[in-house]
Amino acid sequence: MSVVLPTLLYLGLYLAQSTQAPNDYLLPPVITAQPGPMVLYNEPVTILCQEPSHAEAYEIYKVEEPELRAGRKLPLAWKTNTLYIQEMKPDKTGLYRCSYQSGGHWSPVSDILRVVMTGSYDKPSLSSISGTVVASGKIVTLQCFSSFKFDAFILTKEDASQFTQRQSSTAQDNGQQATFHMDHVMSTQAGTYRCYGAFSKDPYVWSHPSDPLQLVVRGTYDKPSLSSMSGTVVAPGDNVTLQCFSRINFDSFILTKDDAPQFTQRQSSTAQDNGQQATFHMDRVTSTEAGTYRCYGAFSKDPYVWSHPSDPLQLVDREAPFDPTPMEPKHPQATDHNQTQNHHGILIGFPVAIVLLLLLFLLLFFILRHRHRKAKNNATETKRQPQAAEPMNGPASEARDPQDVTYFQVAFNAPTHGTASAPSLLPKPAQASEYATLVLR
C-alpha cells in the first residue's frame, strides 16, 4: 500500500503536466522566405518553417490582422514545412507565421514574416542630405521622393532583412516625400539602403526599389598616411602615383577627392614595411585631376566602415593661373603643406609692407626737413634787406609766395590679405591719391 500510493501520485502529476502545459518545453520554429520576403510581381516564392527538433506536423498560415495572436488564422499548409507560391499576387502578400507538432503537442508560433510584392509602381529616388560618407556619431538624414502620390515610403537595409522603417509621406515639389533620421550613426548602420513607395489600401504592395544608396561611416580606425611618389606639382600629361599606408592590416584602401563626391577608387592592400599599403595610378592627368585627396582604410567584412581620413594631399596644376586667394579646407581639422605656405605668405607679406611704409615716411620726413631749412635761410636773408610794406587784408591774406607752398602726393599700396608678394612702390593710375599742403612761415 505504501508503494502504490506514491506511484499513483507521480503518474497523476505527470498526466496533469502533460495536459496543462503541452508546449512549454517546445521551442518556436523559424519562418523564412526563399529567395526572400520581397518578391517581384508574378515571381515564385517558397515559405519555409524550420523547427529545432523532429516534428510530426506543421501549420503555415496568414494572420489576417496585425495584432499577431489576436488575428484570425488562415491555414495554408499542413503536414509539410513548406508553402510554395508559384506566382506572387497582391492577395498573397501579408503576414505569415507557422508552428509545428511534436509529441502530440503544438509549439509556440514563430515570429512574424512580412511577405511583400514589389514592382507595382515606378521607383522613387533616395538621397542623403548628410552626404554618403559621414563621421561616426553624426546625424544622418535620408530622403525618399516620388512624383507618385504615395501614402508612405519604406526604407530597407540590404544586409538586415528585419530592418524596415515606414514613414508617412508629405507633399513636396509636385510629389511626395518622407524623411528618415538616424541619430548618432554607428558602424553597424553603414551599408546599402533602398526605399519603396506604397499606398495605405495595399500596405504590402510596394513600388520598384530606388537606386541603392551606400552609406559609409568613417572614423572607426586610426587614419592612414597618403603620399605622392610623383610630387605634388604636376603638369597635364604627367603620370601620378599616390600611395596610402597604415600600420593597421586593412584589406583595402579608398582614395577620395574633396571637390568630387563621386570620385572613389578602392584598391586591395599589400604587405609593406610592417604594415599595409595600396598604390593608386593616374595616367596622363589633366587639370581636372588637380585638387585635394584623402585616403581611408577598410576591412572586407565591413566594406562601408572606414577609418579616419588621412591628412589631405593637394595636387597642384603647374600650368594653372595663380590664384592668390587661399583655399578654405573642407575638413577644418586637417591642414596641408600648401595651406601652410599660404599662411606663411601672409605672415611674411605684412612685415615687409610695414618696413616699406616706414621707409617711405622717413624719406618724406627728410624731404620736408630739407625744404624747411632752405625756406628758413631765404627768410633770414630777406629780413636783412628793407622791403616795402604790403597791405594786410586779414587772415586770408597771410598766403605767402607760391614758392613757400609745397605739395606732396603720397600713394600707398597695402598688400591684399592672403598675398605673399610685397607691395609695389609705384602708384597705380587708377588708385586714389592723398595730397598734403605744407605752409612754410
pLDDT value of position 411: 46
Shared-domain flag, residues 42 and 129: no
Q: Are the CB atoms for 440 and 378 separated by under 8 Å?
A: no
The mean per-residue pLDDT over the stretch 276-292 comes to 94
Shared-domain flag, residues 242 and 306: yes
Residue 86: pLDDT band (50, 70, 90) is very high
Shared-domain flag, residues 42 and 113: yes
Shared-domain flag, residues 87 and 44: yes
The mean per-residue pLDDT over the stretch 119-125 comes to 96
Shared-domain flag, residues 342 and 435: yes
The mean per-residue pLDDT over the stretch 363-387 comes to 68
pLDDT value of position 351: 59
Residue that is last in its domain, among 285, 304, 321: 321
Residue 108 has pLDDT above 90, yes or no: yes
Gyration radius of the chain's alpha carbons: 42
The mean per-residue pLDDT over the stretch 243-262 comes to 95
Cis peptide before 386 (omega within 30 of 0): no
pLDDT value of position 436: 42
Residue 398 has pLDDT above 50, yes or no: no
Secondary structure (DSSP) of 212-256: PEEEEEE-SS---EEEETT-SEE-TT--EEEEEEESS--SEEEEE
Higher pLDDT, 416 or 177: 177
Residue 350 included in any domain: yes
Cα–Cα distance, 227 to 241 (Å, whole number): 9
Residue 11 included in any domain: no
Low-confidence winner among 74-88, 89-103, 194-208, 414-428 (lowest mean pLDDT)? 414-428
Residue 45 has pLDDT above 90, yes or no: yes
The mean per-residue pLDDT over the stretch 358-387 comes to 70
Residue 364 included in any domain: yes
pLDDT value of position 9: 35
Residue 385: pLDDT band (50, 70, 90) is low
Shared-domain flag, residues 197 and 273: no
Shared-domain flag, residues 59 and 85: yes
pLDDT value of position 369: 78
* Residue spans of beta strands (DSSP E) within 272-378: 276-282, 291-299, 302-306, 313-317
In terms of Cα–Cα distance, which of 320, 301, 290, 309 is closest to 251? 301
Phi, psi of 63, rounded to the nearest 5 degrees? -95, 120
The mean per-residue pLDDT over the stretch 139-146 comes to 97
pLDDT value of position 6: 37
Low-confidence winner among 7-11, 39-43, 157-161, 211-215 (lowest mean pLDDT)? 7-11
pLDDT value of position 184: 93
Residue 431 has pLDDT above 60, yes or no: no
Shared-domain flag, residues 95 and 64: yes
Residue 258 has pLDDT above 90, yes or no: yes
Residue 72: pLDDT band (50, 70, 90) is low
Q: Are the CB atoms for 133 and 54 separated by under 8 Å?
A: no
Shared-domain flag, residues 439 and 330: yes
Count of domains observed in the chain: 4
Shared-domain flag, residues 78 and 171: no
Shared-domain flag, residues 335 and 434: yes
- What cell was used for 138? 553624426
Higher pLDDT, 115 or 415: 115
pLDDT value of position 284: 93
Residue 383 included in any domain: no
pLDDT value of position 24: 60
Residue that is last in its domain, among 71, 87, 118: 118
Higher pLDDT, 426 or 123: 123
pLDDT value of position 401: 46
Which helix (H) or strand (E) covers residue 192, if one does? strand 191-199
Query: What is the extent of the structural domain holding 153?
Result: 125-218
- What cell was used for 325? 586667394
Query: Using CA atoms in the order 113, 117, 121, 126, what is the torsion angle rounded to 10 degrees?
Result: 40
Residue 391 has pLDDT above 70, yes or no: no
Cα–Cα distance, 32 to 110 (Å, whole number): 10
Cα–Cα distance, 139 to 181 (Å, whole number): 7
Residue 112 included in any domain: yes
- What cell was used for 359? 621707409
Residue 166 included in any domain: yes
pLDDT value of position 253: 98
Shared-domain flag, residues 420 and 362: yes
Higher pLDDT, 430 or 325: 325
Residue 236 included in any domain: yes
CATH of the domain at 95: 2.60.40.10
Residue that is last in its domain, among 263, 294, 321: 321
pLDDT value of position 3: 40
Residue 134 included in any domain: yes
The DSSP output letter for 301 is T
Residue 2 has pLDDT above 90, yes or no: no
Residue 55: pLDDT band (50, 70, 90) is confident
Residue 160 has pLDDT above 80, yes or no: no
- What cell was used for 185? 550613426
